[in-house]
Amino acid sequence: MQNLNDLNRLFGREDNIQFIEGPSGMPLIQVATSRASAKVALYGGQMLSFKPVTAEHDLFYLSQKAIYQQGKAIRGGAPLCWPWFGDDPGSLGRQAHGFARNLFWDVLDSQIHDDNVEITLGLESTATSKQWWPSEFRLRKKIHIGDTLSLSLTTENKGEIPFSISKALHSYFRVGDISQTRVCGLDGIDYLDKTLGFTKQKQAGDIQADKETDRVYLDAPQRVAIIDASLKRRIEIEHNGADNFVVWNPWDKAAALNDMSAEDYEQFICVETANALANSVIIAPGAAHHMHVSYSINSEA
């Protein structure tokens, strides 16, 4: 793991990009410009916070009970599920959602132009990763922080045989009140409902969670929006290189999670950019797959 002094010397940019010690000593990237503020954990290469100067509230929910400990995923922000989404596809006892969110990523580059910040993080196959997954890979995540936030993920196959991955940016969006929140843009789209044994359903109108919600939307459009009447804002999500949106809220099952308060389900909804289930991606030797998503916050009267 890179140390803070070296990180600040190589990649720090005056007061705009700083590397600081976070909870439990975990290194964080702290960004502050005339456009936005943000925090990124090197553990998991994970966005924890993004707040444009024009916004009153953060884009993301981050649990106050989040556990900052190696081997545990940080609850909130935008963790990366990779190289599998959901339960271990091989039924080998490996943790759900893969291992990329539970490893420290390297900082490869940082740039600032006109108060737009771009940070590049990397993760590569090692002896540690091969304990869980034998493939040779290289991951690159580019984070663009400006008036909007964009995340680009590139998966490269550095080995000699094809491999299959599923993945998701498991974004936890902060809302003022889940009962006053709608997800629009998926009307008429088929989805698999995990709460109903992954049976196929068809979305009718906007999504308004009023109980546990865990759905994988199939052949999803590129754009959706979260309408948050409580915070009077609209979160626009646009992605490419992804075939699914996953919508999740644990509802009363939040009480069983040790890194979230029982009532926290009222304060977020996950709308995840994903390639999941039948939309897994096969990457040939020497080839790469790209996934990109952008988020913007607009006022909603």
155-167, pLDDT tens digit by residue?
Answer: 999 999 999 999 9
Q: Which residue has the higher pLDDT, 3 or 148?
A: 148
Q: Quick one: what percent of the chain has pLDDT higher than 90?
A: 94
Mean pLDDT across 80-108? 92
Give the CATH number for residue 147: 2.70.98.10
Distance between CA 184 and CA 205 in Å, rounded? 8
Mean pLDDT across 220-249? 98
Q: pTM of this prediction?
A: 0.96
pLDDT at 300: 78
**Is the confidence at residue 153, as pLDDT, over 60?**
yes
- Give residues with Cβ within 8 angstroms of 183, minimum separation 6: 206, 207, 208, 224, 225, 226, 227, 247, 269, 271
**Is the confidence at residue 88, as pLDDT, over 60?**
yes
109-125, pLDDT tens digit by residue?
Answer: 999 999 999 999 999 99
Mean pLDDT across 240-263? 97
> Which of 261, 234, 240, 278 has its CA nearest to residue 85?
278
Let me know if 144 is a catalytic residue.
Answer: no
Mean pLDDT across 240-252? 98
Domain interval for residue 239: 4-299
pLDDT at 253: 97
Mean pLDDT across 197-225? 97
Active-site residue identified among 97, 156, 239, 272: 272
**How do the residues of the chain divide into helix, strand and coil, expressed in percent and rounded to 5?**
10, 45, 40
- Work out how many domains the chain is built from and give that number: 1
Distance between CA 29 and CA 38 in Å, rounded? 8
pLDDT at 225: 98
pLDDT category of residue 301 using cuts at 50, 70 and 90:
low
Mean pLDDT across 212-236? 97
Active-site residue identified among 97, 170, 239, 266: 170
Mean pLDDT across 69-88? 95
Pairing assessment for the beta strands 80-81 and 163-165 based on DSSP bridges: unpaired
Mean pLDDT of the chain: 96
139-149, pLDDT tens digit by residue?
Answer: 999 999 999 99
Let me know if 57 is a catalytic residue.
Answer: no
pLDDT at 14: 87
Mean pLDDT across 193-202? 97
